[in-house]
């Protein structure tokens, strides 16, 4: 039976090989999916001796099946798009991811006709999942019009074909992904270039515009100096007042440019609160009152009674009114009126500021919101204004999710109209979505472990995580290490105030070396701090600043420095990413993995498995700079130095505690610890670079290291640095089974292994770093500065 079946139905093995050869040839030549599918179909029908063939791929998002159905003796395929019935034939293949044969005699759940063959329905139908690794791509279906027994040989042939098809499909996917990522890279590059262009345009415009007040200051100052000696000179006061005014104008420009660039880059966080609009308008009126009086302009304000409070940033919204009113006043002749009207419009608040001024010609209207664009005010000369007022207005309105436009008629006046949503939903929703972190026990636990981990890795006595409230105006402590519960409950900081408030407001990390010498923060009392030095970094989730990590009381009592700040930024980036993952509906397993990752780092630090000396951390950074490691890698090197050996925890009988020769098993265990580290850190770590460096830090220059036996430059530079600094630290600090040696002896030992175990360049850079450091802090070479602000100076 089998023997007679082979020649008629399934091709002979020899023929199969032959056909497979031409199939793989056809597949390699083809690039577009349709051609590949058609070639596959032709060969499968032939090799399997089948009448029908369908190739259906799963759509990841919809779960639909898409593909083609082919029939023997019919050219081309028919496009198929179907929703598989869970219990139907296709559904079962997908659900169980197994080979499934259906023979006509089996009259159970039919469904073979889901595909809708155009000719006779198949008598024997075989479904096979398409998989690459563990990923299910879809399935293939092979049909025979006449009943065929599915022998084990036929089964093998079909499974083999399915594998080939899976690989072909996967290759298409990879190719498509490559194309897509190349496209998105191109787009990103273009966007960057455009941004860069905008920025240089702005810089050139700004520097040009700033010359105007500078020119006046320079000219009046020089003339004043040249004429001071003259008895008849009586213009001192006039000149000085011009200088004073122009210096003010320059200041305003600088502030405006800074405001704008902060808003552009998203660093200016909105401090949203429900605002009563009449109060905002009144506040703005007081500011522009002198200008209004000068021209005897009347301000008429109407706010409709049904207007509810509007969620907005008070300072920014006030500035919108001030700028619009100034603008209206500037372009109004004397004795006119300016109208402000506010009312509901649909579900938004609608604001109008209207003047009876000269108006703006239609062709200039589209430009009025451009930076430094100025419409002539009709009077000729211009002496005030920064040319940025309306650009700021537009930015603020858009930052609040609103829109602005302008209407004008020359000779009649101009009206600016903008609408703002009543609620700033995005931020509110984000903050509310964080709520489970603070109340749900499991997630609270994650947050608490994050705090402890930061404290352990930073070697700090006090760490607190503060989060913004729903209005975005104040910060509260949600988890802390080293603070009494009373302080935690009591502490609340307004955004903009004090250190945490500054960081939340600017979205930048901050280093205060000495709180008492800091002009900005000196006046505030911080009773819980024992040391005068502190660090703070923003917690970013979904691109928004949602909170601040504060770190104080370094355990060695020394002040924090830029390297500590850099380390904190690297850790907080990881903590933020972990929290962000948890905030997108995590599974129990996600939470458990994150927790065990955090606990492992904490435990490894406490057991001092991970070298902890500040010195080795500094040495690593210093050596990295000397060897011109890219700044972004230097930034993570400090972090890696503190967590890379966490995998040692997984070793059962700590072999590092003995000086005995390791057994084969122990050696294997030790040699696999880099992989264990990576496994443990995975929930905290998404940067491939970090994995790469950790994995390679026990490799040797001569290829005798582990786990992969890389050699020379195959080993990432950062890993080579880490290897040498680690060894140096181990030698000088000593280990339970070995006494510490001096720096010179340790260096000599490193040099002996230079070229075999260690990178000679790294060893020499290490020597140079030690040499230069002496007993003082290692100097930072070159222009490398950490990101973020530095406050105060160490005396």
Binding site for other proteins (CB under 8 A): 208, 211-212, 214-220, 222-223, 226-227, 235, 242, 246, 376, 380-383
Cis peptide before 92 (omega within 30 of 0): no
Q: Check: CB of residue 52 under 8 Å from CB of residue 120.
A: no
| Angstrom distances, CA of residue 774 to CA of 309, 331, 765, 770 | 63, 67, 14, 6
Please identify, using beta-carbon distances, which residue of 223 and 756 lies nearer to other proteins: 223
Please identify, using beta-carbon distances, which residue of 242 and 567 lies nearer to other proteins: 242
Longest CA–CA span in the chain (Å) reads: 129
Please identify, using beta-carbon distances, which residue of 26 and 219 lies nearer to other proteins: 219
Q: Where are the alpha helices (DSSP H) in 149-235?
A: 152-227
Considering only CA atoms, which of 31, 35, 48, 57 is closest in space to residue 166?
57
- Give 590's Cβ-side CA count (13 Å radius): 12
- Token pair in block for residue 585: 């509906």
Please identify, using beta-carbon distances, which residue of 222 and 702 lies nearer to other proteins: 222
As a whole number of angstroms, the distance between CA 85 and CA 87 comes to 5
Instruction: State the nearest-atom distance from the C-beta of 199 to other proteins, in Å.
Output: 18
Instruction: State the nearest-atom distance from the C-beta of 245 to other proteins, in Å.
Output: 8
Please identify, using beta-carbon distances, which residue of 36 and 360 lies nearer to other proteins: 360
Q: Which helix (H) or strand (E) holds 480?
A: strand 474-481
Q: Check: CB of residue 552 under 8 Å from CB of residue 531.
A: yes
Instruction: State the nearest-atom distance from the C-beta of 362 to other proteins, in Å.
Output: 17
- Token pair in block for residue 409: 């008629």
Instruction: State the nearest-atom distance from the C-beta of 368 to other proteins, in Å.
Output: 15
| Angstrom distances, CA of residue 288 to CA of 292, 293, 342, 411 | 6, 9, 19, 23
- Token pair in block for residue 193: 């270039």
Please identify, using beta-carbon distances, which residue of 214 and 654 lies nearer to other proteins: 214
Instruction: State the nearest-atom distance from the C-beta of 578 to other proteins, in Å.
Output: 51
Residues 6+ apart with CB under 8 A from 76: 38, 70
Phi, psi dihedrals of residue 281, rounded to the nearest 5°? -65, -40
Please identify, using beta-carbon distances, which residue of 232 and 585 lies nearer to other proteins: 232
Cα angle 97, 101, 104; round to 5: 145
Please identify, using beta-carbon distances, which residue of 226 and 398 lies nearer to other proteins: 226
Residues 6+ apart with CB under 8 A from 281: 301, 303, 321, 340, 342
Instruction: State the nearest-atom distance from the C-beta of 355 to other proteins, in Å.
Output: 20
Q: Check: CB of residue 477 under 8 Å from CB of residue 491.
A: yes
As a whole number of angstroms, the distance between CA 722 and CA 640 comes to 9
Please identify, using beta-carbon distances, which residue of 231 and 527 lies nearer to other proteins: 231
Instruction: State the nearest-atom distance from the C-beta of 254 to other proteins, in Å.
Output: 16
Cα angle 81, 86, 89; round to 5: 75
Q: Check: CB of residue 557 under 8 Å from CB of residue 532.
A: no
Instruction: State the nearest-atom distance from the C-beta of 357 to other proteins, in Å.
Output: 16
Instruction: State the nearest-atom distance from the C-beta of 379 to other proteins, in Å.
Output: 9
As a whole number of angstroms, the distance between CA 105 and CA 147 comes to 8
Instruction: State the nearest-atom distance from the C-beta of 208 to other proteins, in Å.
Output: 5
Instruction: State the nearest-atom distance from the C-beta of 381 to other proteins, in Å.
Output: 4
Please identify, using beta-carbon distances, which residue of 220 and 416 lies nearer to other proteins: 220
Please identify, using beta-carbon distances, which residue of 118 and 223 lies nearer to other proteins: 223
């Amino acid at each position: 039976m089998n023997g007679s079946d082979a020649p008629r139905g399934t091709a002979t093995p020899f023929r199969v090989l032959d056909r497979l050869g031409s199939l793989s040839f056809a597949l390699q030549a083809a690039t577009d999916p349709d051609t590949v599918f058609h070639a596959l179909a032709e060969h499968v029908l032939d090799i399997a001796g089948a009448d029908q063939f369908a190739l259906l791929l799963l759509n990841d998002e919809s779960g639909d099946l898409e593909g083609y159905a082919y029939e023997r003796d019919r050219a081309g395929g028919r496009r198929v798009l179907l929703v598989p019935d869970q219990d139907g034939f296709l559904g079962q293949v997908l659900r169980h991811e197994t080979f499934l044969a259906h023979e006509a005699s089996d009259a159970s759940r039919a469904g073979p006709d889901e595909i809708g063959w155009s000719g006779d329905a198949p008598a024997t139908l075989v479904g096979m999942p398409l998989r690459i690794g563990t990923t299910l791509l879809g399935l293939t279906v092979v049909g025979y019009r006449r009943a065929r027994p599915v022998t084990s040989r036929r089964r093998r042939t079909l499974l083999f074909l399915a594998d080939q098809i899976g690989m072909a499909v996967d290759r298409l996917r990879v190719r498509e992904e490559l194309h897509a990522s190349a496209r998105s890279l191109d787009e990103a590059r273009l966007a960057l270039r455009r941004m860069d262009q905008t920025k240089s345009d702005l810089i050139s415009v700004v520097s040009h515009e700033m010359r105007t007040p500078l020119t006046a200051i320079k000219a009046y100052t020089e003339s004043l100096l040249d004429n001071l000696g003259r008895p008849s000179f009586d213009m001192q006061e006039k000149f000085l007042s011009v200088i004073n005014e122009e210096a003010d104008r320059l200041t305003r420009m600088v502030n405006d440019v800074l405001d704008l660039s902060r808003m552009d880059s998203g660093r200016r966080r909105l401090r949203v609160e429900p605002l009563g609009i009449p109060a905002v308008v009144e506040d703005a009126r007081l500011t522009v009152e002198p200008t209004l009086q000068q021209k005897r302009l009347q301000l008429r304000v109407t706010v409709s009674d049904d207007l509810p409070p509007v969620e907005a940033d008070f300072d920014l919204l006030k500035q919108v009114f001030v700028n619009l009113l100034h603008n209206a006043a500037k372009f109004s002749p004397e004795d006119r009126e300016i109208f402000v009207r506010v009312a509901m419009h649909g579900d938004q608040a609608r604001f109008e500021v209207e003047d009876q001024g000269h108006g703006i010609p239609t062709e200039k209207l589209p430009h009025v919101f451009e930076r430094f664009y100025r419409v002539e005010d009709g009077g000729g000369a211009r002496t005030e204004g920064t040319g940025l007022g309306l650009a700021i207005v537009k930015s603020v309105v858009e930052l609040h999710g609103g829109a602005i436009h302008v209407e004008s008629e020359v000779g009649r006046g101009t009206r600016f109209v903008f609408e703002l949503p009543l609620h700033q939903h995005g931020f509110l929703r984000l903050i509310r979505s964080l709520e489970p972190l603070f109340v749900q026990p499991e997630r609270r636990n994650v947050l608490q472990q994050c705090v402890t981990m930061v404290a352990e890795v930073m070697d700090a006595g006090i760490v607190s995580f503060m989060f913004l409230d729903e209005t975005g105006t104040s910060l509260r402590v949600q988890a802390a290490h080293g603070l009494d519960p009373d302080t935690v409950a009591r502490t609340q900081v307004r955004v903009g105030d004090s250190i945490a408030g500054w960081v939340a407001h600017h979205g930048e990390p901050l280093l205060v070396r000495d709180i008492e010498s800091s002009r900005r923060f000196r006046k505030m009392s911080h009773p819980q701090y024992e040391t005068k030095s502190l660090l703070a970094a923003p917690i970013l989730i979904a691109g928004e600043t949602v909170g601040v990590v504060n770190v104080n009381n370094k355990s060695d009592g020394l002040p924090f420095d830029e390297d500590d700040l850099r380390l904190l930024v690297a850790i907080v980036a990881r903590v933020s990413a972990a929290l962000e993952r948890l905030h997108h509906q995590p599974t129990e397993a996600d939470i458990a993995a994150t927790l065990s990752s955090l606990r492992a780092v904490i435990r490894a630090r406490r057991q001092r498995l991970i070298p902890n000396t500040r010195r080795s951390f500094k040495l690593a950074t210093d050596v990295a700079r000397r060897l011109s490691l890219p700044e972004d890698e230097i930034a993570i090197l400090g972090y890696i130095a503190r967590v890379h050996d966490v995998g040692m925890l997984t070793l059962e009988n700590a072999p590092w505690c003995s000086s005995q020769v390791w057994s084969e098993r122990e050696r294997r265990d030790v040699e696999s610890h880099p992989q264990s580290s990576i496994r443990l850190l995975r929930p905290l770590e998404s940067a491939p670079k970090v994995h790469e460096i950790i994995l390679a830090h026990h490799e040797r220059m001569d290829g005798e290291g582990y786990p992969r036996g890389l050699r020379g430059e195959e080993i990432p530079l950062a890993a080579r640095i880490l290897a040498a600094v680690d060894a140096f630290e181990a030698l000088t600090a000593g280990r339970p089974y070995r006494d510490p040696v001096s720096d010179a002896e340790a260096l000599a030992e490193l040099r002996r292994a230079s070229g075999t175990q260690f990178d000679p360049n790294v060893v020499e850079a290490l020597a140079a770093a030690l040499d230069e450091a002496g007993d003082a802090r290692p100097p930072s070479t070159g222009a490398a500065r950490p990101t973020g602000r530095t406050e105060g100076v160490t005396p």
